[in-house]
Structure 1
Amino acid sequence: MEELNCDLLVIGSGPGGYVCGIRAGQLGVDTIVVEARAHGGTCLNVGCIPSKALIHAAEEFHKATGFTAPNSLGISVQAPEIDLGQTVAWKDGIVARLNGGVGALLRRAGARAIIGQARFRDGKSVIVKTDMGEQLIHARRIVIATGSVPFEIPSLPFGGDVISSTGALALTSVPNRLIVVGGGYIGLEIGTAMAKLGSEVTVVEFASKILPQYDNELTRPVADRLEALGINVMLNAKAEGLNADKDRLRVTLGDGETTELPFDKVLVAVGRKPCTQDVGLEELSLRMNGAFIQVDDRCQTSMRDVYAIGDVTGEPMLAHRAIAQGEMTAEIVAGGPHAWDKQCIPAVCFTDPEIVTAGLSPEEAKAQFGETVTGKFPFTANGRAMTMENEAGFIRVVARADNHVVLGIQATGGGISELAAVFAHAIEMGARLEDIAGTIHAHPTQSEGLQEAALKALGHAIHF
């Protein structure tokens, strides 16, 4: 068995792992990155990137379909068609380019990359099974960055016509009838895209509302859009499993009655769980937080010189959180004094319209700081939103009443995801309402809604 030695071993090359490997290499740390499948992890291969590609293609097709009838823009086209197989091939091409890019960046930084399944032998060594045989890697420090996988319902195991988000992103034809189990962001993003491609979509959600992590103001425009697209949303409904013929989904409704829904595909999107199986965690003595690995503000586990980053450490399970943790951990391994001190982690839901949150919600802000002020500006009063036919939604700013320090910014609207960094930057830098209101915002842009929301909170909105 070949034996290798390194200062840092990173297990997993998703957004957190590969960033950790690149930064460590840049800092002169002798680094090996082991990845079981393909560089980029869930986000690049079967998550963030391919889902946004599908969402984009679906939106373009839906727009073209709308131009077959008289419309306010005066654009007229013949009935469009879509070859989903070609769309998937285009998506796969993007993924392949990014895969290769990650590998090149690791090499340029001086990190060694190995494709193989890693399994702990102890807290300082790992056995990696590769196509060329087994390798034993000894490391001074180890970072666990193995990510997450879709959560599977025991009564609806993946297989056949029951698919996960991974399977949904690989479909080469649009299912005539798609049932989405789960009304969270993954289910609604993919469900909305499929509806725009022509699928008859039904969402089965166990809770009393869609997107339970967001307040009703933010989700109402999304609910209205789902209805406009003809998506049937069943709330307080529990998916029980398939019938005997495996062609209908049995659902228990809130009143206790049951019904059976016909389908071509069932997408189960009820969350994700940490990918910690088959990596030999039982050989370590890690303190766990349920199924997740517990870490401190330096991503240190309960074992010295063993770190964990990204989805395996729990919520929020977001790629950009993993990236920030990966970079920070590399700095720590190189001897830096860094610790997690982020004021907020922005979150984006790529529904139609999109939702962005950064910092505290109005309820959270009031609970922590007492009296607050809130300003909201609707896109119905924004010229740029009107010209893009994106008038649904708003921007909302929450600040302390005593000193006007901004505590949270939320928004929903078309293309609003591109303002996520602006929202987070304001909170991270400790901006006050006066800072945002006094900053010249380019006209005409949707970002003017942020300035107007701050002005509204100060009591003197100009355009609303």
Structure 2
Amino acid sequence: MKEISCKLLVIGAGPGGYVCAIRAGQLGVDTVIVEAGKPGGTCLNVGCIPSKALIHAAEEFDKVVHMASGRDPLGIAVAPPTLDLVKTVAWKDSIVSRLNTGVAGLLKRAKVKTVHGWATFRDGKTVEVETETGNQVIRAEAVVIATGSAPVELPFLPFGGPVISSTEALALSEVPKKLAVVGGGYIGLELGMAFAKMGAKVTVVEALPRVLAQYDAELTRPVLKRLGELGVEVMTGAKAKGLSTKRDALLVETTDGKDGKVAADRILVTVGRKPLTQGWGLDQIDLDMAGKFIRIDDHCRTSMRGIYAIGDVTGEPMLAHRAMAQGEMVAEIVAGHKRSWDKRAIPAICFTDPELVIAGLSPEEAKALAGEIKIGQFPFAANGRAMTKQGEDGFVRVVARADNHLVLGIQAVGQGVSELSAAFGLALEMGARLEDIAGTIHAHPTQGEGFQEAALKGLGHALHV
């Protein structure tokens, strides 16, 4: 059995793991990374990137369908369009492949040794990796666990046949005629809206009283309006119960206790993700857990000396950019730098139509923390650039303390607002006040002006509304 030694071993080459390894390599740390699949993890291979590719393709197809209807206000007319999903998926796969190659190249450039296989702990400093050419033992001074997460499977709707997870949804060869989506969170609505635009009859089944429950109702109102325009049926307060006998429908129970059926060729289950804490020898090491997640401190240290954990395996928010930031920090700590986790805000984006962005505290959370607050809200209906993009639905909202105007949270809903998330995060990290945002010259005509106008509104003197 082959044996190698290193200073840092990273288990998992997802966003957190590969960023950690690359940064460690840049700092001269002898680093090995172990990955059973392709580099990039869930986000690159079957999550963030491919889903956004599919969402973009669906948006483009929907535009053409609208033009073909003869109702396009821009005066553009085209012949009735068709969609070849096989070609669409192949295009999506080509993007993923290019990024896979890019990550592998970055690891090589940073002089990180990559071992392909499944790692299992022997003890806190040693893992055994099952590779295609035999088992390999790796001994390390420090270990980073970056094993990520996987879709939650419902016991009464196991994956297989017509029941699929987001992974399978991104690799379908044809658009389902009828798609039932179990779970009205961001994954379910992102993919549900995309398939609706591609021609599927979509029904969303959500057990809670409303979809996108993690966002406030005002923020989600434009999304609900768009769901209606796309013909998506939303069943709230409805619980999925299983498959029909013929496996052609989803069995549901409504709020009044009545049973019903939702006809479906495919049933997409999107009820959350679970950390991957099984299968890599957790029983061989003694880590404190925080529920189903690995407990960490503000340096991403676990309860065992020399073992760190980052990303989805450590809890919410399960976001790739959180994992990346943690990975970079841990690499610098291992290299001897002084770092700690002290983030004011981690922006979160829902790529529905329109898009949602939240950063920092909601109005309710801010009020609970600071007492009296100021809220400035600016509608895109008064923004010239939004009008020229036919994206008037939505707004930017800034939440600040009333006494010193310190910005505590920023939210937005609208077409393309995901690109404003960097400005929102930067403002919060730098401790901006309403006056700082209002006094910054924002380029015209852009949707970013809505951010400045919201701050001005919070100060009591918005200019364009």
TM normalised by structure 1 equals: 1.00
1:170 aligns with 2:171: yes
Counting only pairs closer than 5 Å after superposition, residues 102-251 of structure 1 correspond to structure 2 as: 102-251=103-252
Report the equivalent of 1:19. Answer: 19
Counting only pairs closer than 5 Å after superposition, residues 62-461 of structure 1 correspond to structure 2 as: 62-68=62-68, 69-461=70-462
How big is each residue's C-alpha offset from its partner over 1:43-74, in whole Å with a ceiling of 9 and x where there is no partner?
00000000000000000000000001132100
Q: State the alpha-carbon separation in 1 of the partners of residues 362 and 183 from structure 2.
A: 23
Q: Which moved more, 1:70-79 or 1:199-208?
A: 70-79
Paired residue type of 2:342: D
Q: Displacement of 1:262 after TM fit?
A: 1.2
Paired residue type of 2:36: A
Q: State the alpha-carbon separation in 2 of the partners of residues 461 and 111 from structure 1.
A: 52
Paired residue type of 1:182: G
Gaps in structure 1 of 5+ consecutive residues:
none
Find the residue that maps to 2:179 and give its secondary structure.
strand
Gaps in structure 2 of 5+ consecutive residues:
none
1:57 aligns with 2:71: no
Q: State the alpha-carbon separation in 2 of the partners of residues 71 and 337 from structure 1.
A: 57
Report the equivalent of 1:2. Answer: 2
Residues 393 and 114 of structure 1: CA distance in aligned 2, closer, same or farther (over 3 Å) = same
Report the equivalent of 1:37. Answer: 37
Q: State the alpha-carbon separation in 1 of the partners of residues 179 and 397 from structure 2.
A: 34
Q: Displacement of 1:276 after TM fit?
A: 1.6
Paired residue type of 1:46: V
Paired residue type of 1:198: G
Find the residue that maps to 2:204 and give its secondary structure.
strand
How big is each residue's C-alpha offset from its partner over 1:142-185, in whole Å with a ceiling of 9 and x where there is no partner?
00000000000000000011000000000010000000000000
Paired residue type of 2:258: E
How big is each residue's C-alpha offset from its partner over 1:71-126, in whole Å with a ceiling of 9 and x where there is no partner?
21000000011100000000000000100111110010011011100000110100
Q: State the alpha-carbon separation in 2 of the partners of residues 76 and 243 from structure 1.
A: 43
Q: State the alpha-carbon separation in 2 of the partners of residues 281 and 29 from structure 1.
A: 26
Find the residue that maps to 2:280 and give its secondary structure.
coil
Q: State the alpha-carbon separation in 2 of the partners of residues 139 and 70 from structure 1.
A: 64
Q: State the alpha-carbon separation in 2 of the partners of residues 377 and 288 from structure 1.
A: 43
How big is each residue's C-alpha offset from its partner over 1:383-423, in whole Å with a ceiling of 9 and x where there is no partner?
00000000010000000101101110000000000000100
Q: Displacement of 1:244 after TM fit?
A: 1.7
Paired residue type of 1:34: V
Percent of residue pairs identical: 66
Compute the RMSD of aligned alpha carbons.
0.5
Find the residue that maps to 2:139 and give its secondary structure.
strand
Q: Displacement of 1:301 after TM fit?
A: 0.2
How big is each residue's C-alpha offset from its partner over 1:301-357, in whole Å with a ceiling of 9 and x where there is no partner?
000000000000000000000000000000000111100011100000000000000
Q: Displacement of 1:10 after TM fit?
A: 0.1
Q: Displacement of 1:261 after TM fit?
A: 1.4
Q: State the alpha-carbon separation in 2 of the partners of residues 257 and 307 from structure 1.
A: 49
Paired residue type of 1:226: L
Q: State the alpha-carbon separation in 2 of the partners of residues 94 and 340 from structure 1.
A: 32
Q: Which runs of 4+ in 1 moved over 6 A?
A: none
Find the residue that maps to 2:57 and give its secondary structure.
helix
Q: State the alpha-carbon separation in 1 of the partners of residues 133 and 18 from structure 2.
A: 22
Paired residue type of 2:44: L
Paired residue type of 1:234: M
Find the residue that maps to 2:308 and give its secondary structure.
strand
Paired residue type of 1:323: M
TM normalised by structure 2 equals: 0.99
Paired residue type of 1:293: I
Find the residue that maps to 1:143 and give its secondary structure.
strand
Q: State the alpha-carbon separation in 1 of the partners of residues 463 and 292 from structure 2.
A: 50
Tell me how many residue pairs correspond in the alignment: 464
